[in-house]
Each structure stands twice: as C-alpha cells, then as structure tokens.
Structure 1
Amino acid sequence: MTRRALPAALFATLAAALSLTACSGGDADPAPGAAGSSTDAVTVQNCGRDVVFDSPPQRIVSGWPTSTELLLELGLGDRLVGQYNTASSQGDPLPQYAEAYAAVPVLSDAAPTRETLLAAAPDLIWADGSYLFDGQQLPTIDELAAQGTQVLVLSGFCDDGGTSAVTDVDDDLDTLGAALGVTDQTDALRDQVDGQLADIEASTADLAPVDAAVISTYEGTVYTYEGVYSDMLERAGGANVLAGTLPEGTYFGELSAEQLLATDPSALVYLLSGDETPEAARALLQQDFPSLSAVAADRLVFLPQIDSTNLRVVDGVQSLADQLAQLR
C-alpha cells in the first residue's frame, strides 16, 4: 500500500518539534523534573496495553459525546482540538455543557477521515472503540503512537462492548487522571459517581426486580442488548429477561419478532437512538407489537442509548430506577 503524505498541519507540527529538539541539544540529559523527562513519564493500562505518556497530553480529540462532556467536566476544554461521533448524530449534549461543547471543533459527525484526524495534530485520541484504527479508515494504534499520538479507548469497549459495565467509568477516570495529570479532579469525581450509584442501589436493594427486555428498533429490525444495559437494569431494580441469549463477547444483536413475542416480558426497556423520542417509540411499538403484554399495559421504559457511558451512566441508572418504580 502506498504511504499517504502527511497533511501540512501535521508536517509543520512534527517539523517544529524536531527543530526544538535540535536547538535544545538532543544529547543532553533532561533536568530533574523537566517536562518529558523519565521522572514525568506515566504509564497507564488500557485495553491490555501499556500506554506511556512522557507528559500530559495537551491536544485531545474525543471520539464520543459523553467523553467530550467528561473532559469538559474536568475543566479540560482548552485541550480539546476536535471531536467526532458528535451529538448531532448521537443526541444533544447536556445543557450544562452545551456552550463549551459547541466550541470544540467538529472533525466529523461520524467517523473522521485519516486526513481530517491527523490535521488536528492530536497527541491523544480518546476513542469509543478500536474498530476505526485498522490501518485503512485510520492509522493503526501503533502507527499513531510512532508519530506521537497515543490512543486510549473507553474501557467498556476494549472488546467492542461485550463486557461493558457501569463501573467502567471508574476505570476511565483513573486512567484519565493519571494520563492527563488531573488526579485530584478525577478522584473527586469518582467518589461522587460511586456515591450516587451506591444510593440508587440501596434504594432498590429490598425490592423484587422488575423483569424486562432491553430492545431498540432500526429500519424494522428489533435489537436486544446486554453488557452495560443488563448491569444498569440490575442496579436500578430490574432484571434483563433476555440476558444470556446473545453470543459471548457481544452486547447487542438482532431479535426476531417471534422471539420477542414468545418471551412476552412484563416490561420493555426501549433504547432511544439519536433524536428518537419516547412518543415516536411508543407509537411504533403499539403499531408493530400490540399483543405484547408490556405494550398493551403501557409498561414501557425509555432510555437514550447515550446515557450508558461516562458520567451519563449515572443519569441512566437513576432514570431506569425512577421509571421502574412507577411500574411496581
């Protein structure tokens, strides 16, 4: 395969870095505690990889809306040089982040091109998964590291979401705190998240779980979900009646209408995508599955799919707990 030429912006960045290295005398030992010295280097674990940061990244590209929100919550908006998989395709940012979110350059509403990504000259990409870094759509993770761009993947999506869980947010906060040099902020935020989740679980601990199926629809096809959604449902006082039906290592898959009708769950948790509304989803279910007990009795719970990652997962669990309480 022919090697693509480096974009002008990245070439200029690399050239400037080489020039600075030459001027500073590359053979000299760095002063103790100087940026880039071994005393500053931090190694974090991510998806089975040791990722080394010689200094905290200052140019970050975010690959998921809730990841952008989390970086803004940590006060790191000035380090964000781009975002993709943006809110326009996944859902609106929360009001408290909307203004700062809008100021982050949009590289693409979906997957960015290689040229667009590299032109942003990031030293860190915080990605929603490793699927894009295949050497075709984007350079591989190793290729990016060789040219000075590290990649961290949301810990729940190291295996494309097959084993994702609510507490992935704790792992990501630990990783980000160490890598970005903001452990005080991430430690405090982790304590807050853990406290909120503990309060929700305590409020549902003595209640009989509400049996429910977790589904969504797209262009006439029904999908069911496990992974983080089963975990969220359990913490909120429910139980996923379709847990265990998907192949190991996957968190979503097609569900036939016959399977759904045969299961006939007492409640449905419907995952909303993008700008899909509960009203539209309810109308669709009433049209396509009027004989389902949950649909006939209007035992329907709605959850935006975006409320399952980063800080939004706490909102998602709370929303499920509140809606399930109304069904008891």
Structure 2
Amino acid sequence: MRLSRPSRRSLLLLTGLLLLTACGSGPGSPGESADGAGAVTFDNCGREVTVAAPPKRAVSLNQGTTEILLSLGLADRMAGTATWTDPVMEGLRGADAKVPRLADNQPSFERVLDSEPDFVAASFASTLGKGGVATREQFEKLGVPTYLSPSDCEGKDNSGDGDGSRTAPLTMETVYREVRELARVFGVEDRGERLVSGLKSRVAKATSGIRAGNTTVLYWFANQESPYMAGCCGAPGLITHALGAENVFDDSTREWPQINWETVADRDPDVLVLGDLTRKSQTAESAAKKIAFLESNPVTRNMTAVREKRYVLLSGQAMNPTIRTVEGVEKVATALRRYGLDR
C-alpha cells in the first residue's frame, strides 16, 4: 500500500526512535555481515555517525557516492539516486537501471523523504548543507544517518562561496577509505577490499614509467564566460602529481577557481584536459563546445595546446574526488604517451 506523505513522515520518525533504541542496546560488532544486527559507529567529517543495521533503502545524492555503492553490488539496497553530471560508469548500467532516479540534478528534501530512506550519502558538503537538499541535522532528526565523502571535508575548507579551498592535497587513500567505510556500513567489507585492490592496480599500471616533469596541464571543468579551472590540490592535482606533471594553476588552493582567459593564455599549458559533461546547468558543458570556443576565441586560439590540438576528454566524475579519478589518471596518462610528453 502506498503511504500518504504524513504517514511516511510518521514512519521516518518512528524509524528514528527505533534506531536510537537499537544503538543504545549494546556496542554491536562493526565488522558484522549484512545479515547481522550489529551497529556501526565511526567519525565522519567531524561528527559521530551510528548506523544501527546495514541499510536496505539507501539514497545517494551525488553521482560519486552512487557509483561506489553500485560498484559494491548494492543496487538492491538503494531507494534512489540524484545529481548526475555524466552517464553512469562503464559496467554499472544494468545495476543503475534498477535504482530509481529521484532527480537528474538536486532533488527536494520532500522527494528524498518520499523514498523512505534509512541511510543518505553525498559526495559534497554543499549537498548536505544549507542551500543543498537538506542539512545533516534535518535527516538525523528523522533518524536517518548521513554520510559525507571525506574527500570533501578532510584537508578542505568549505566556508565562503565557491567550491572551497584545499588546506592539504587530496590523495587516493582518502577515496579508498570512503570505499572501505561505505562497505563497512553495509556489511560487505570483502567487496570493499576487492574494489580498492582493483583501483590500486589500475593506478599502478597507468603511471608505470611516466615522469612528465616538463609537461604543464590545465583542467577546465565548465563555464565559458568565467571558466572553472582546477587549482592545485583536488582530484586534478592528484592526477597531475601521479604522472609527475605540473598543473599551471598550482598556485591556487581553491578547488575550482574562476580564471579569465587572458590569464589562461598567459600560462600557455602543453595539454588541456576538458570536462565532457552531459548536464546542462552551465555554458560549454560538453568537450565539443569547449573545443569550438578555444579554437575560435582570439585570446585562446594561439595557445600551444590549442594549436597542437592536445586535448584530453574526461567525464566530470573523473575530475571530482571519486573512484572515477582513477579513470582520469588512466586517460591523461594515455594522452601524454600519445603526445610524446611522458618523459
């Protein structure tokens, strides 16, 4: 029977009371299997999170956390996904098709509650904050535990406008820890370890023999009028560092500073890494539109990378701190070898 909205809210409130009761009944076993009843408690971005039992109706509010859950084989325990910039990762289409999409972009709080979640995960602090879907406190008051990707809070200052600034460079270890933590929440630790092992092997293979110390790279995510270029220390910085290259905007700790084209042309990078997004929230989302602009604009058309057509096309997710960052390492490495810039 489909419940009315007031009934669903009542159910969530009741669930919250049950969760609190379960958490107070005993310490539980953090490593217990998905069929067990042990609670998992851990620190997440400075707050203690307790999940009383492996979730059965999880909602992921960003594509990054969604693809981790799908990669862990958890589609049957997901009640919804939202906020997509790209097609789902290769190999996950079948699993993704089984999970309701609450919205292509940011869903309303009401829409998320309609899915009756027992766990909510997000990749960005802006999603689980003021101006986002809802705050973590709003979910937790209803007894719904929340999880925020550590890559968007640890070593990062999200105060102020924009996408925040890095106080310490991102590393893949933080991404791997996210995989392990989510696997632990769902009681599938072995799957998490297999996923991490596979990602590490891919990075090692992609970076073997590459030392592109004399190569400069620029990352353009989106927006034509006030372009978002990657600063030193997020996912693009991780990719660049892994390959021994140099990001032309290494002097900015902001995640995605908006930089004018005159400054971009003055830095004159050897390679341009372009976000190839399918969303439609900004100008020049696709790589094709980015290239058309670069090759026609009088300020940019004489840049070395534009003249030589040294472009690398990446999904938006590969330019964010996710398991797809590994995809970014692989594709940039392949391009550097193709352009003879890997030494």
**TM-score, length basis structure 1:** 0.83
Percent sequence identity is: 24
What's the offset of the Cα at 1:136? 6.1
1:263-316 deviation line (CA, Å, top 9, x unaligned): 122222222222654443322210111121211122222222212443212111
- 1:189 partner SS: helix
The question of whether the paired residues in 2 share the 8 Å contact of 1:44 and 1:179 is answered with no
| Cα pair distance change 1:209/1:62, threshold 3 Å | farther
What's the offset of the Cα at 1:30? 7.5
* Partner of residue 281, structure 1: 290
* 308, 317, 337: which one aligns with 1:306: 317
Distance in 1, matches of 2:96 and 2:183, equals: 20
1:137-179 deviation line (CA, Å, top 9, x unaligned): 5442123223211111112112456444433321101211221
The question of whether the paired residues in 2 share the 8 Å contact of 1:213 and 1:241 is answered with yes
What's the offset of the Cα at 1:237? 4.2
* Partner of residue 9, structure 2: 10
| Cα pair distance change 1:209/1:174, threshold 3 Å | farther
Distance in 1, matches of 2:219 and 2:290, equals: 13
What's the offset of the Cα at 1:225? 0.5
> Which of structures 1 and 2 has the bigger CA Rg?
1
* Partner of residue 290, structure 1: 301
* 126, 147, 154: which one aligns with 1:131: 126
> Structure 2 matches for 1:57-76, cutoff 5 A?
57-76=55-74
The question of whether the paired residues in 2 share the 8 Å contact of 1:238 and 1:324 is answered with no
| Cα pair distance change 1:118/1:232, threshold 3 Å | same
The question of whether the paired residues in 1 share the 8 Å contact of 2:28 and 2:40 is answered with no
- 1:261 partner SS: helix
The answer as to 2:100 corresponding to 1:105 is yes
The one-letter code sitting in structure 1 at the alignment partner of 2:108 is: T
**TM-score, length basis structure 2:** 0.80
* 27, 47, 50: which one aligns with 1:49: 47
* 291, 304, 316: which one aligns with 2:328: 316
* Partner of residue 237, structure 2: 230
Distance in 2, matches of 1:137 and 1:210, equals: 38
Distance in 2, matches of 1:99 and 1:56, equals: 23
Distance in 2, matches of 1:75 and 1:45, equals: 24
* Partner of residue 221, structure 1: 226
Distance in 1, matches of 2:148 and 2:276, equals: 24
1:35-59 deviation line (CA, Å, top 9, x unaligned): 9xxx822212211222112222221
Distance in 2, matches of 1:296 and 1:60, equals: 48
| Cα pair distance change 1:68/1:204, threshold 3 Å | same
Extract unaligned runs of 5+ from structure 2: 159-163, 280-284
